[in-house]
Structure 1
Amino acid sequence: MRFTALLLAMSLGTIPAWANNLAAYTEEFAPYNYTEGQNFKGLANQIIDRIVEQTGLSIKRESLPWLRAIQANQGNPDSLIYTIVRTPQRETQYLWVGPYDDCDIVFLKLKNRTDIQLNSIKDAERYYSGAARGAAAAQILQGMGYNMSRLDISSPEEIRTVKMLYAKRFDLSAGMLIPHVYSARQLKLDASQLTPAFTIVKGGGCYFGFNPKVNPETFNRFKEAFQHLKTTGELDKIRKQYLTPEASVSR
């Protein structure tokens, strides 16, 4: 009934207000999405800001603990959730727009550590590495049978792992590149010194995931605006902001 009404409205050249409204559920996951006071910040939120400017869509964002965000999205047809990694298990649960990052899980090193050359996961066990406790990287490595005595997971936060890498307490740090760059910036360290040493697992990509019952016209407007950002190169420019070290970092 709702879709029929939308088609009729489109044929008359008008779009009903409900076709412009979306709820967007997210979590605190810097630098992809996070809040400062009442402001939504980060890579994914910059993309949403540009899509709103292009389309006139009304998107009400809410930051919640991740499990609550998933439940809210499932209970609201006209909603999306972000940042969500696309996996085979999730494929039919969402309509996907993206990716805006590859979300590869990698070992990272400092560029001056030219002595570290990895050709396999096993090679990494020769070095002492760090990863945030409970993070995907630590869980994936454990599932691969990695020698966990060679991986420090004592810290609940990735920023401490990055600090230990720069202090040469760790040879490697496991995780995703963009969050590592963000942590280095927060510590006022030279983020340009970070470089991937080995890909632990290719990511499924970071996406916006829509409830499958979302209004199709609204979904298509969002998707087309995202594609426009991609084809014009603006998406790549936004992403590079989170990979390029700031001029104020210490050298």
Structure 2
Amino acid sequence: MLTRTLLFFIISFDLFASERALVIYTEEFPPYNFSVNNEITGINILLVKAACEEAQIKCVFQILPWNRAMRMALEGPNTALVSTARTAEREDLFQWVGPFISGQNCIYKLASRTDIDIPNIDAAKNYIMGASTDSAYKETLASLGFKEGKNLNLYQGKYSQLRPFAAQRVDLIIGSATSIQLQLSHGELELEEIIPVAKIDSNLHHRNYLALHPAIDKDVIDKLQSSLERLITSGTAGKFELEFVKPIAAGSPTNENSALWNSCMKERQPLSIQ
């Protein structure tokens, strides 16, 4: 009788575990993940949803402030976080699926700053960079030679570097081509008011991933990774990206910067984000 009871409990627990949804936390960060009309959407949200559906894994999404989303994902056990930069500090805290969609990272200046001359990325160190203290770009900036107190000013709070940048208290900002327009809105700047001056090597910045709690079964990780790879190779991921952002042509690019402009400048589709 005891054996039968234990067997029933184990079977019941396994059934419950298999049906339990994977709770995926995220933040408001258009165009990758954001809420509109009470729905969570975005490039990487659509991609995660499609991967979950293909892998036949039930996934639910919650949008929270970043620090709280990170805390909830770490508490687990059936939790994940997207879009997450895969940094050295986070590597052992999660299991990883990806990479998901990330924009080309670039350094920008105000278009009006004709005094700033950056013929190559090494020359960027001669100017003051503004960045947020909670930015995933800190490692990237360090590798490029930016040091706080020398040529790097750090500001508390997300996007807090934008107002000093607009006021010319710092010379440069770093950002993703896919999300730079959103960043600029926090400094009351328009996309036409900036120009890219350097492109960041993709090996120097961490791309976006789905970070999953260590307790999640490896089989789930493998299924999601395989599904994601199929979505990318089929072109579905690229279609999702085009729903939200598009490249914009330079007004009058020189031969020297047209390729840089094409890599670093995109704009949000007008009807996608309210």
Q: Is the pair's TM-score, using the shorter chain for normalization, greater than 0.5?
A: yes
Is 1:229 aligned to 2:222, yes or no?
no
Pairing 1:181-200 to 2, within 5 Å after superposition: 181-183=181-183, 189-190=190-191, 194-195=195-196, 197-199=198-200
Q: What is residue 220 of structure 1 aligned with on the other side?
A: 222
**Distance verdict in 2 for CA 1:117–1:79, change over 3 Å:** same
RMSD over aligned Cα, in angstroms? 4.2
Q: What is residue 19 of structure 1 aligned with on the other side?
A: 18
**Distance verdict in 2 for CA 1:205–1:246, change over 3 Å:** closer
**Which deviates more, 127-136 or 34-43?**
127-136
Deviation of 1:185 after TM superposition, in Å, equals 8.0
CA deviations over 1:159-210 (Å, ceiling 9, x no partner): 9839966x98875322333221444589794579754614287112210011
Pairing 1:28-39 to 2, within 5 Å after superposition: 28-36=28-36, 38-39=38-39
Instruction: Identify the match of residue 242 of structure 1 among 237, 245, 248.
Output: 245
- Give the distance between the partners of 2:197 and 2:95, measured in 1 at CA: 31
Q: What is residue 12 of structure 1 aligned with on the other side?
A: none
Is 1:158 aligned to 2:159, yes or no?
yes
Deviation of 1:131 after TM superposition, in Å, equals 3.6
Kindly, what percent of the aligned residue pairs are identical? 21
- Give the distance between the partners of 1:101 and 1:162, measured in 2 at CA: 28
Q: What is residue 202 of structure 1 aligned with on the other side?
A: 204
SS in 2 for 1:178: coil
- In 2, are the aligned partners of 1:103 and 1:206 still within 8 Å (CA)? no
- Give the distance between the partners of 1:23 and 1:247, measured in 2 at CA: 29
Q: How many residue pairs end up in the alignment?
A: 234
CA deviations over 1:220-250 (Å, ceiling 9, x no partner): 332222111111122233234435335769x
- Give the distance between the partners of 2:206 and 2:133, measured in 1 at CA: 22
Deviation of 1:141 after TM superposition, in Å, equals 4.2
Unaligned runs of 5+ in 2: 1-6, 248-266
Is 1:118 aligned to 2:82, yes or no?
no
Q: What is residue 73 of structure 1 aligned with on the other side?
A: 73
Q: What is residue 3 of structure 2 aligned with on the other side?
A: none
Deviation of 1:130 after TM superposition, in Å, equals 4.1
- In 1, are the aligned partners of 2:32 and 2:43 still within 8 Å (CA)? yes
- The one-letter amino acid paired with 1:92 is D
Pairing 1:69-148 to 2, within 5 Å after superposition: 69-102=69-102, 106-109=106-109, 116-120=118-122, 123-127=123-127, 129-132=129-132, 134-137=134-137, 141=141, 144-146=145-147, 148=149
Deviation of 1:45 after TM superposition, in Å, equals 1.0
Unaligned runs of 5+ in 1: 10-14
